[in-house]
Amino acid sequence: MTAGAPRPRAQLRVLAVDDVLPALEELARLLRDAPDVAEVVTAHEPIGALKSIQAGRFDAVFLDISMPGLDGLELGSLLARLSEPPAIVFVTAHERHAVAAYRIGAVDYLLKPVRAEHLAAALDKVVRMGGPAPADPARVPPPAPAPPDTMPVLPVENAGRTRYVRRSEVLFAEANGDYVRLHTRSGVHLLRMPLSRLEEYWSEAGFSRVHRGYLVSLDAVRELRSDTAGGLLAHTDIGDVPVSRRHARELREQLMAAARRGELGGGRP
């Protein structure tokens, strides 16, 4: 490059995440106006962000911190564990989270309302940081053998008749004494089996124990929500499933792992 010549512009692929739509739209506009950015993808909640990350690699993720269900710091911490993590830039109205943000490896911390020059400085840090080196295919371990499929179909009795319910139809299961209520889009089916036994059979098939009385299909989770009492709910197309505090972190990590494997479908049609 000759002296005085401008440096080539980077072509960054960026994900912007904010649960407040006007703030998300403004951040996306600023990013699209930046010469270093080639593409901007938006997500208005963390599960949507995970699905976008599952669909393709990003050079940087611009994250709001205060979001329901899975906040920006928790999502950023999960992203930092990826084999090829994106650069993380937090965008928030509060200064108090800055130490925690930098502790998980954020490259910058922007305060709202975001100014164009501050955004440009953050993008410059992302560019100077450079992308991760591509993985060496020769060092990638072979995939583990698939576990044996257990109970993909369950017989359920109703008024003297037997119906067979496929596991893929079940969005979540609810304990009901010695029975389990299987919640599907076509209705609720009663199965004589304790929830703990069903968990043993289905834990390797994408189902997670999220509460003493509930088992949910990770594929069916649309988003995580906060209830009026401050608890966590896993939202599905047919209802909300309560998530106990002791299971919340495990569920978030399982959703992230499913996204990394390309198995987070967000519910079946």
- In this predicted structure, the answer to whether residue 171 has a pLDDT above a threshold of 60 is yes
Q: Is residue 240 within 8 Å of residue 225, measured between CB atoms?
A: yes
Percent residues over pLDDT 70 in the chain: 85
User: Domain containing 191: what range?
Assistant: 153-260
| Last residue in a domain, options 81, 100, 132 | 132
**193-220: average pLDDT:** 92
Q: Has residue 139 been placed in a domain?
A: no
Same domain, 86 and 164: no
Q: Is residue 125 within 8 Å of residue 105, measured between CB atoms?
A: no
CATH number of the structural domain spanning residue 106? 3.40.50.2300
| CA proximity to 255, closest of 234, 238, 227 | 234
- In tens, the pLDDT along 28-78 reads 999 999 999 999 999 998 888 888 888 888 999 999 988 876 778 888 888
What DSSP line would sit under 47-78, residue for residue? HHHHHHHHHS--SEEEE-S--SSS-HHHHHHH
Which range of 94-103, 126-135, 191-200 scores highest in mean pLDDT? It is 191-200
- In tens, the pLDDT along 122-168 reads 999 999 887 433 344 554 555 544 445 667 888 888 777 888 899 99
CATH number of the structural domain spanning residue 238? 2.40.50.1020
Q: How many domains does the chain have?
A: 2
Q: Has residue 268 been placed in a domain?
A: no
Q: Has residue 167 been placed in a domain?
A: yes
